[in-house]
Structure 1
Amino acid sequence: MAFGPAFLFSLEGRVCIQGEGSAESARETPRRLSREQLSVLISAASMNLGSMMCYSILGPFFPKEAEKKGASNTIIGMIFGCYALFELLASLVFGKYLVHIGTKFMFVAGMFVSGGVTILFGVLDQVPEGPTFIAMCFLVRVMDAVSFAAAITASSSILAKAFPNNVATVLGSLEIFSGLGLVLGPPLGGFLYQSFGYEVPFIILGCIVLLMVPLNMCILPSYESDPGEHSFWKLITLPKIGLIAFVITSLSACFGFLDPTLSLFVLEKFNLPAGYVGLVFLGLALSYAISSPLFGLLSDKMPHLRKWLLVLGNLITAGCYMLLGPVPVLHIKSQLWLLVLALVVSGISAGMSVIPTFPEILSCAYENGFEEGLSTLGLVSGLFSAMWSVGAFIGPTLGGFLLEKIGFEWAAAIQGLWALISGLAMGLFYLLEHSRRRRRSKPQNILSSEEERTVLLPNEI
């Protein structure tokens, strides 16, 4: 895998040779971040933190306010669910036309619109109740989804361009800021709502995001590239990438499944005060945020382990979801400590599986003739965001339906079964791929030994 004509990488990405320098200098890798890389990290971290806070701030109080305005529970669920659906569609479009629009413009414009629509959400309580309020909620939520899709697609592409050798490490490290956004959003929003009313949380958070826009306009570097010839269809129809996309969707659905189901189960089963339910979710978010950088570093240092991290993470996630209830066939009594432990381990296993997927897709794309540059990075970023959005839409929708029909224990087990199938399918593919490579290498070895004999025999005679 190579990034640019001046760099040649070994298969495991450990050796880097630049130009015609000495062997000693060629083995050295820069230990300090360049100014450009540091700027990219600051921009991406600010976007992850701000966007995740904007996304999660609705949870504590918006459903209650929407009910006052005449929205039913079904409509409220659709307002939440439409975010993932439109993020999916927008990610595919922005990934395809990233080079045409420009990475920096897409990133900055996405943050600007996100801050603006967050403020608009804060004035929706002034809109007349009924269909007008509901229509405005859908419109603002869709705009927020499109703006986030633009920012995250551009961010992933810029990161992969700035850190070609450490994609997994950087993406994993930035998940800390995504986790912080998800963790800080609900309590901060709830506190501001309780203290100052409905408008203030959205206005304050929207203004914070808008203040990040001029900062990113100044520090974010611009990258330019020519449009590529390849399409999403060619990318997703590659068998390996199709299976990885299935893995991403299943893991995203596992996260999304818990949103409408876990709090109801915990309140009913363990009679916890409502304030303690957030602490249960905290175990999942923190374990994922903390473990992601570690698995990113391991994935970059030992690329040959990526595939097995991906497979093992899915299998562990499946086991954790079997234990959330637990599933009745195990005949294990439901206990709060077991539920929290399963969530913590599930967060770690999710980091183990999610982080290697981006570099795996990128590596497979280059192996199959995709050109190296922003065009391919945009396709991969858009595909990753789109598949994550599919799971984020299916998980809560299917989870709410299964919870109503068969209860949390069986619903969680079915969700875990999805992760189990994707993990086993991915593992089987890797085993078949390994066996094919061994078969191809055998004829080459036989041929090379025969050539050596032909050269050596005349000398022996």
Structure 2
Amino acid sequence: MYGFSEYKHYPIYLRCYALFKEFGEDPPETEGEATRRLSREQLFTLISAASINVGSSMCYSILGPFFPKEAEKKGASNTIIGMIFGCYALFDLLASLVFGKYLVQIGAKFMFVAGMFVSGGVTILFGVLDQVPEGPVFIAMCFLVRVADAVSFAAAITASFSILAKAFPNNVATVLGSLEIFSGLGFVLGPPLGGFLYQTFGYEVPFIFLGCIVLLMVPLNMYILPNYEADPGGHSFWKLITLPKVALIAFVINSLSAGFGFLDPTLSLFVLEKFHLPAGYVGLVFLGLALSYSISSPLLGLLSDKMPHLRKWFLVFGNFITAGCYMLLGPVPVLYVKSQLWLLVLVLVINGISAGMSVIPTFPEILSCAYENGFEEGLSTLGLVSGLFGAMWSVGAFLGPTLGGFLYEKIGFEWAAAIQGLLPLTSGLAMGLYYLLEHSREGRSIPQGVLTTEEERTALLPNEI
């Protein structure tokens, strides 16, 4: 997502290698040759991107099962806990815009490696916060460490998206969708691993263990990550975001990331209070969302690249299904449906698939819209699109937990989730109306009696033969 977004290790890399055999830099020798192998550079790019997806999603999701309870013991209210989760996204937003704009000047590889290094160290620091005095000092330190983590991972993720789009220019959705396997695995591993380590060893060990894993990835990426050089471009974020289609897609990204962010501080508290599960098992509830999202994303990405006309349908109906899922999470009292654990997990599974339908097409849709409106093809534009994607995801990821924590405290989880569902419902309606208007404009732009390209070809072929 970055903001769900998330990963595993070497056996998965080999699977990724097999999945991407068809994508190569050189054309096939014959027309019947169906497969093309990844170049060494592309394979290393995939491994590096997978490593940052694993690290970022695990660092983000590990807090869910136990941190809200620990923060309550230290004197933080539910609203403050939501803000601690939400501040990550706020500074991720600001950092993504800056890093996206100056990606070429800083250097994509340096930004990637430096961001990962800082994040590993900051994650370890998060593990010693239980030694800080309770009250305002603890809260202030939580905000400080969370902000540093957000800025460092914004650098790494922005660079990662740009490098991937540069290495796989014709298969952006497929590659990003397939890498969501690793994002999903990070979210899958984060909550249960954090919960069980917390139960077994206490507060410090989950963060120290994860921080060390991230740091160990740094020398690997220094060695294998390709270094792309490019000239700065002349376009700006403002020109990109003021394109109507891009602005609406940005709203879609906001609504989906807000939904994911809403669940971070609220779902674990709801499950603990409603079903009385131990912290380790609370983490397993998150698996429904993470697994379904990560497993469905590669297929959705492949369909998005092979059949671009499906993207509009994914964007619209994915949002509608997601909205329905949030109505059923509680479920909302007006439905008169009893809250049950199996129903909650089932809804999370469906939500993971529907969110993937909406998230995966957004990056290639923004990129194609930018190229259609005069943005130059190259690393500079890729940096702008990557930064914009990260920034818009972060807007929702800030609003989701912040507003979610407040609503949970005031009106309970059931109504808070239903209100959250209004965002994807609105964004789905907005995208649907835009595509209808776009289709009607295209229809009017073709004069009656004038053949389209396909009709011309059909009419001329018999004569040519």
Task: Confirm or deny a common fold (TM above 0.5).
Answer: yes
Residues 121 and 403 from structure 1, CA distance in 2 versus in 1: closer, same or farther, beyond 3 angstroms?
A: closer
Equivalent position of 2:114 in the other structure: 109
| C-alpha distance in structure 2 between counterparts of 1:167 and 1:328, whole Å | 42
Which of 153, 157, 164 is the matching residue for 1:159? 164
TM-superposed CA distance for 1:270, in Å, is 4.2
Aligned to 1:217: 222
Letter paired with 1:165: N
The residue number in structure 2 matching 1:370 is 375
**2:385 match:** 380
> Which of 173-182 and 226-235 deviates more?
173-182
Q: 1:35 to 1:323 in 2, by over 3 A?
A: same
- The answer for the alignment partner of 1:308 in structure 2 is 313
Displacement of 1:52:
1.5
TM-superposition CA deviations, 1:107-155 (whole Å, max 9, x none): 0111011111112223334445554444333222111100010000000
> Whole-Å Cα distance in 1 between the matches of residues 315 and 185 of structure 2?
24
2:195 equivalent in structure 1: 190
Is the alpha carbon distance of 1:195 and 1:382 closer, same or farther for their aligned partners in structure 2, counting shifts above 3 Å? same
Aligned position for 1:90: 95
Counterpart position of 2:426: 421
Match of 1:334 among 339, 354, 359: 339
Corresponding position of 1:348? 353
In the alignment, structure 1 segments of 5+ residues that lack a partner are 1-15, 449-461
Which of residues 243, 266, 272 in structure 1 aligns to 2:271? 266
**CA gap 1:443/1:109 in 2 versus in 1, 3 angstroms:** farther
**What residue number does 1:34 align with?**
39
- For the residue of structure 1 that corresponds to 2:450, the secondary structure is helix
Q: Answer with 201-210 or 168-177: which moved more.
A: 201-210
> Distance in 1 between the 2:273 and 2:204 partners?
32
Whichever residue aligns with residue 375 of structure 1, its letter is S
Following the alignment from structure 1 to structure 2, what is the Cα–Cα distance between the partners of residues 65 and 330?
34
Q: Distance in 2 between matches of 1:275 and 1:197?
A: 12
The within-5 A match list for 1:15-54 is 25=30, 31-54=36-59
Residue equivalent to 1:10: none
Confirm or deny that 1:58 pairs with 2:89: no
Q: Shift of the alpha carbon at 1:338?
A: 2.7
C-alpha root-mean-square deviation of aligned residues, in Å?
2.7
The 1-side partners of 2:76 and 2:415 are apart by 30
Letter in 2 for 1:171: L
Q: Aligned partners of 1:163, 1:40: CA distance in 2, in Å?
A: 10
Equivalence map 1:290-305=2 (5 Å): 290-305=295-310
Equivalents in 1 of 2:324, 2:245: separation in Å?
A: 24
TM-score (norm 2): 0.86
Q: What SS class does the counterpart of residue 445 from structure 1 fall into?
A: coil
SS at match of 2:337: coil
Task: Tell me, yes or no, if structure 1 residue 204 matches structure 2 residue 209.
Answer: yes
Q: Secondary structure at the match of 2:36?
A: coil
CA distance in structure 2 between the aligned counterparts of 1:332 and 1:126, rounded to whole angstroms: 44
Distance 1:308 1:229, change over 3 A: same
Q: Alignment partner for residue 147 of structure 2, among 142, 149, 155?
A: 142
Distance in 2, Cα, partners of 1:234 & 1:80: 31
Change beyond 3 A, Cα 1:276–1:394: same
CA distance in 2, matches of 1:100, 1:69: 43
Partner SS, residue 442 of structure 1: coil
Contact 2:92–2:394 (CA<8 Å) still a contact in 1?
Answer: yes
- Report the Cα distance in structure 2 between the residues aligned to 1:128 and 1:264, rounded to whole angstroms: 24
Provide Cα deviations, 1:389-440, integer angstroms capped at 9, x if missing partner: 1111111222222233333333222222221111011011011111111211
Amino acid in the other structure paired with 2:213: I
Query: Secondary structure at the residue paired with 1:230?
Result: coil
Match of 1:118 among 111, 118, 123: 123
Task: Evaluate the alpha carbon distance shift between residue 401 and residue 74 of structure 1 in structure 2; reply closer, same or farther with a 3 A threshold.
Answer: closer
State the TM-score, normalizing by the size of structure 1: 0.86
Superposed displacement of residue 82, structure 1: 1.2
SS of match in other structure, 1:224: coil
Query: Secondary structure in 2 aligned to 1:31?
Result: coil
Contact 2:196-2:280 within 8 A present in 1 as well: no
Q: Which runs of 5+ in 2 are unaligned?
A: 1-22, 454-465
Q: Given that residues 85 and 402 in structure 2 are in contact (C-alpha distance below 8 angstroms), is that contact kept between their aligned partners in structure 1? A: no
Inter-CA distance 62–281: structure 2 relative to 1 (3 Å threshold): closer
Relative to 1, partners in 2 of residues 1:255 and 1:65: Cα closer, same or farther, differing over 3 Å? closer
Offset at residue 211 of structure 1 (A): 1.4
Which SS does the other structure have where 1:227 is aligned? coil
Shift of 1:27: 8.6
More deviation, 58-67/43-52: 58-67
Q: How does 1:316-331 map to 2 (within 5 A)?
A: 316-331=321-336
Q: Which moved more, 1:192-201 or 1:220-229?
A: 192-201
**Aligned-pair CA distance for 1:26:** 7.4
* Structure possessing the higher radius of gyration over alpha carbons: 1
Which secondary structure does the structure 1 equivalent of 2:228 belong to? Answer: coil
Distance 1:65 1:364, change over 3 A: same
Residue by residue, what CA displacement relative to the aligned partner does 1:274-299 show, whole Å, maximum 9, x if unpaired?
Answer: 54433322111111111111100110
Distance (whole Å) between structure 2 residues aligned to residue 335 and residue 197 of structure 1: 30
Q: Structure 1's 137 and 313: CA in aligned 2 closer, same or farther, altered over 3 A?
A: same
Distance (Å, rounded) in 2 between the aligned partners of 1:444 and 1:110? 58
Matched, 1:79 2:99: no
Distance change >3 Å, CA 394–CA 442, structure 1 → 2? same
**Secondary structure at 2:246 match in 1:** helix
Q: Is 1:228 the counterpart of 2:230 in the alignment? A: no
Conservation of the 8 A alpha-carbon contact between 2:266 and 2:405:
yes
8 Å contact kept, 2:326–2:420: yes
- In the TM superposition, what is the alpha-carbon distance from 1:204 to its structure 2 partner? 2.4
Q: Distance in 2 between matches of 1:408 and 1:134?
A: 24
The structural deviation recorded for 1:36 is 0.6
